[in-house]
Structure 1
C-alpha cells in the first residue's frame, strides 16, 4: 500500500493548559521552573502505604477542591483523572480563544492520552469488580478513555476523538497524531494532550519493578537510583496555518519521530536503537540539521537504564550535544501526561529564551562527557527544541518544537 503523503502547511500551538505538582496553571508552572525548586514531596490525596516512605509529584488540590473550582460538585463519575483533565483542557481552550462552535465543529479533533485512566480509584475498582459494592457512580469511569469521554460530553465535541496509551510516550504520540491529522487535511484544529493521576495501582506496579527512589529524583546523576511518580494534565491546541490568522502562536510543531525497539517490557535496549531512530526522524521531518537543535528536554526519568540509554542516543545523534535537562526533577514522572507537560515546558524555553536546570545533580555520569544544565540560563536564543518521551516496551517518540514565525 502506498504511504499517504502529508500536505504542506505549518501546525501551530495556539493554546496551552497545565496542572502539575508545580502549580495549577501555566503561569504557576513557569514560575515553579524559574524558582529551581521541585514540586516533589509528601502525598496526601491518595491512600497508600508508600505515601509515608516515598516522595511524589502530587497536585496540591484534593478532589473536592478540584470539583469546586470546576463547578462539578453535582456531576457524578468524575475520577481524579477526569478532574485534572478538565482543569488543563479548560485553560487550553480558553487560552486559544476557542468558541463553543469551534470546539463542536467536525473540523476539531481531540486526541488525549493516559496510562492509568480511571484506575486511579484502585480500591473502588476492586469493590465494584468483586461485587463488594452495590455499584458505585464510577462503574463507567475505569477505562483508559473515560476521561476523554467526559471531555467529549462536557464540551460537546463532535469531531474525531481518540485515546492513546503507549505508556510514557502516550501524550507525545497524541501531539504527533494531532499534527499529522492537520497536515493530512483530516482536521483543521486538534486539541492534544494527556493526563494521569497518582494511584495505589500505579505505585504498587512501579514499586514491584524496584525503580522508585526514596528521595527526590536526580536524572543524569552518576548515583541516580530511580524515579518519583507524579500526576498532571496538560493540553495544547494545535491549529493549521490556514486558520490561525492573527492569533497568538506559541510554537510550531515542526517535526516528530516514533520508533519501537521491542527490547523489553520495561527497559530500553542498551544500544539506544529506538531512541536514535526517533530523534533522527523527528529532526529530519522538521527539515533541519541536528546542529540546529538548541536545547533538548530529555525523557530523563532518573533510573539507571533510561538515563544511560538516552545519553548514549543523544551522544550518537549529535556531534556536539546541545544543552539538555530533565524537567521530571520538578514534577516527577507523570506517565501518560509527561509528553504534553514537557512540550509545554519546551514552549516556555522557546518563548522566554530560558533553559531550566536539572535538579539534585551532585556527580556527573562518569562514562559521558555531556552533562545536563546545572543553572538557570536566560537570554539564550532557543529556536528549536527536541523533546523526548520514551515508553515501556520501547515505544520512543521525539518532537521538534520550533519558534513561531
Structure 2
C-alpha cells in the first residue's frame, strides 16, 4: 500500500523569527539571527550563535506552565513551534495522531546546568531524567495530549529530517493517517564547547560553499510539519507533499564526511528513486551547507556526482546558524516557503567558489518556477538524509 503524503501545517521558531511569517520576512530582507550569546551561560562570549532571545522563564510563561515544571529549553521551543503548526493545520483533536520528534541535545541544557548540585541539593533533581532525548519528546507530547504513537529520533544533525522520513513512510504504508514530524534543539555548553574543540567553529559569520569558509555557527530552533494521507483530507489547504526520501550511512568517520561525499550521494540517489524522479526534475536544493571545510567540499562533490547540471542551490544556515537536530525541520519549512512563493532562497556571505568544484550558490532571493525541492541534512557518524518536497504531488 502506498499513499500520497500531504503537508497541511507547519510551524517554526528560530533566531530569525517566532513564526513562519517572521522567518520568511527575515529571509526576504537578508536579516540573519546571529549574535553573541546572552541567554546561554558560556565563557565563549566571542562566538556568535543563532540564539532565540527569550529566557526559559519567559518561554514557560508564554505557554502557561507552573514555576516548578520539568520542561527543558528544547521542549519549550518545541511546544511553541508545534502550537503554530497544529493551528496552521486546524488540528484540535490529538486523540488519533502520531508524533515523531528529532532532537540531539534534548534536555542536556538543564542536566549540565545542575549536575554539580544533584548530590547535595534535591531541588532540581527532577531534571536528571531530561538527559534522555526521549524525555523532551514526552514533554511536548504531554502538553498537547498526544498519547498514541510517540517516538524520538536522535541521529545528530539529520534527526528532524529522519523524523519527517519516518512519518512519511508510516503514512505511505497505511500505519498512520496523520502525524506531526520535525525537531527541536537548544544551545548548550556541551555542543558549543564540542564544536569549538573540533576547530570547526567560526568566530565570524558562516560562509557556506565559499572558498574562504572557516567554520559553522550553532543555532537553536524548533520546526514541525503536519503530514496527512492525501486520501483522508477534506476541505483543507495542502502546503505541499513529501515526494521522496532517502537515508544512507557510509560510516566514514565519527565527525567528518567522506572525501567523495559517498553518504550524501547515496542519500540523494535513494530519495530520487523513492520519488520516481530523474535528477533533472529537481528545481532547487536546500543544501546542508555548514560552512566547514570538510562538509561543503564533500557535499559539493556529491552534488556533482548526482546531477549532470547542478540545480539552483543554497544553504540557509547563514540565517539561523546550524540548529543541529532541528535543521531538517527548519529547512523543510524553508523548502515549503520556496515552493509556495516560487522563490529561490539566498546563501549569505558567499563571494568565491570552492576551487575544486567551482559551484556557485544562489545569493539573492530570486523568482523561479519550482515544482521539486531537495533538502539535505547530514549528521555526525555519516548519517545522511535527503528529502524531496513537491508543490503539487505530481
Query: Is TM-score (shorter-chain normalized) higher than 0.5?
Result: yes
Residue 305 of structure 1 pairs with residue 298 of structure 2? no
> Cα offset for 1:145?
1.2
Structure 2 counterpart of 1:268? 257
* Separation of aligned partners in 1, 2:121 and 2:344: 50
Residue 104 of structure 1 is aligned with which of 59, 71, 95? 95
Deviations 1:118-167 (A, max 9, x none): 001254342255x1422414233222111211122122212111100100
Q: Map 1:139-288; keep pairs closer than 5 Å.
A: 139-288=128-277
Q: Secondary structure at the match of 2:11?
A: strand
Deviations 1:258-302 (A, max 9, x none): 000100000011011111111011011111110000000000000
Q: Map 1:296-335; keep pairs closer than 5 Å.
A: 296-335=285-324
Contact 2:70 2:127 in 1 (8 A): yes
Residue 8 of structure 1 is aligned with which of 2, 15, 25? 2
Structure 2 counterpart of 1:18? 12
* Separation of aligned partners in 2, 1:75 and 1:33: 37
Q: Secondary structure at the match of 2:329?
A: helix
Residue 77 of structure 2 is aligned with which of 65, 78, 84? 84
Residue 71 of structure 1 is aligned with which of 59, 64, 85? 64
Q: Secondary structure at the match of 1:169?
A: helix
> Cα offset for 1:41?
1.1
Structure 1 counterpart of 2:350? 361
Structure 2 counterpart of 1:62? 55
Contact 1:104 1:155 in 2 (8 A): no
* Separation of aligned partners in 2, 1:175 and 1:128: 38
Deviations 1:202-223 (A, max 9, x none): 1111111111000010110001
Structure 1 counterpart of 2:384? 396
* Separation of aligned partners in 2, 1:44 and 1:132: 29
Deviations 1:32-58 (A, max 9, x none): 1111121111120110011x1110001
Q: Map 1:344-359; keep pairs closer than 5 Å.
A: 344-359=333-348
Further displaced range: 177-186 or 65-74: 65-74
Contact 1:122 1:199 in 2 (8 A): no
Q: Secondary structure at the match of 2:129?
A: coil
Q: Secondary structure at the match of 1:117?
A: coil
Contact 1:122 1:201 in 2 (8 A): no
Residue 33 of structure 1 pairs with residue 24 of structure 2? no
Q: Secondary structure at the match of 1:104?
A: coil
> RMSD across aligned C-alpha pairs, in angstroms?
1.2
* Separation of aligned partners in 1, 2:25 and 2:255: 33
* Separation of aligned partners in 2, 1:40 and 1:81: 19
* Separation of aligned partners in 2, 1:266 and 1:29: 30
* Separation of aligned partners in 2, 1:268 and 1:395: 9
TM-score by length of 1: 0.95
Gaps of 5+ in 2: none
Gaps of 5+ in 1: 1-6
Q: Secondary structure at the match of 1:150?
A: helix
Contact 1:170 1:336 in 2 (8 A): yes
